[in-house]
Amino acid sequence: MSMQAASPGSIAAPQAGACAPEQMLLVAALLCMSAGFLDAVTWLSLGRVFASSQTGNVVFCGMYAMSGQWRQAAHHLVPLAGFLLGAAVAVRIRAPLFCLVGEIVCLTVMMLLIHRIPDAVAILGISFGIALRSASFRQVEHKAYLSVAVTGNMLRGIDQLLAMGDVEALRGAGAMLAICLSFLLGAAIGGCLTMWLGAFSLAFPIASSACVLLLCLRHRRRSHRG
């Protein structure tokens, strides 16, 4: 991927080179941890829905619809709608760091207003924000991954692991294992902190995304100096 050096919009384009900062393993791990955390928060605090893992929402939506529980089915359509909208915006503008800033803004606003707005609006805002950055960060060390799911990453890890004799493939398998464990760790921490802090537990994924933003910007500044 390329970018225009020293341009005002440099934040919006990935850096050229062997591995852009957006593809670093630490970045992927932090984003996956944040996604697991947000799923725990919305499941426990916002009516048993998932902000990140839309597969779960599809399953529950189908089950409730088949049993005639239309209100519950519609409840699971809200995060799906927010996620699709956020992903469409991210794919359209193709500006990873701008989308990351957008996620931080969305989560911050939802954290501050969560007790003053309907749950459906909070869910919509959180899902929109996480889709912005998950659709923008989809490679780790030149390998495709998803920061909002585990199943696909596990399958990619198995593919890499079984590529015997290839050191690069083993490295890829290790990266997939690391981001899967990060998602698990995020969900575990999110479950604990949500019970203690409620809506203010959203400060954790906000801080995580802010760390990713600072890490990418710092990496780019160093590359420009080089």
Does 133 score more than 60 pLDDT? yes
Please report which confidence band the pLDDT of residue 222 belongs to, taking 50, 70 and 90 as the band edges. Answer: confident
Contacts 24+ apart (CB under 8 A), 170-176: 171/141, 172/141, 172/143, 175/25, 175/28, 175/140, 175/141, 175/143, 175/145, 176/143, 176/145
Mean of pLDDT values over 204-221: 93
The amino acid at 44: L
Please report which confidence band the pLDDT of residue 13 belongs to, taking 50, 70 and 90 as the band edges. Answer: very low
- pLDDT score at 1: 38
Residue 149: partners with Cβ closer than 8 Å, 6 or more residues away: 52, 53, 55
Give tens-digit pLDDT for 33-56: 999 999 999 999 998 999 999 999
Helix ranges restricted to H, the chain: 25-45, 54-66, 70-93, 96-113, 119-134, 151-161, 167-197, 203-225
Give tens-digit pLDDT for 85-101: 999 999 999 999 999 99
pTM of the entire structure?
0.87
Domains of the chain (ranges, CATH numbers)? 23-212 (1.20.1250)
The amino acid at 45: S
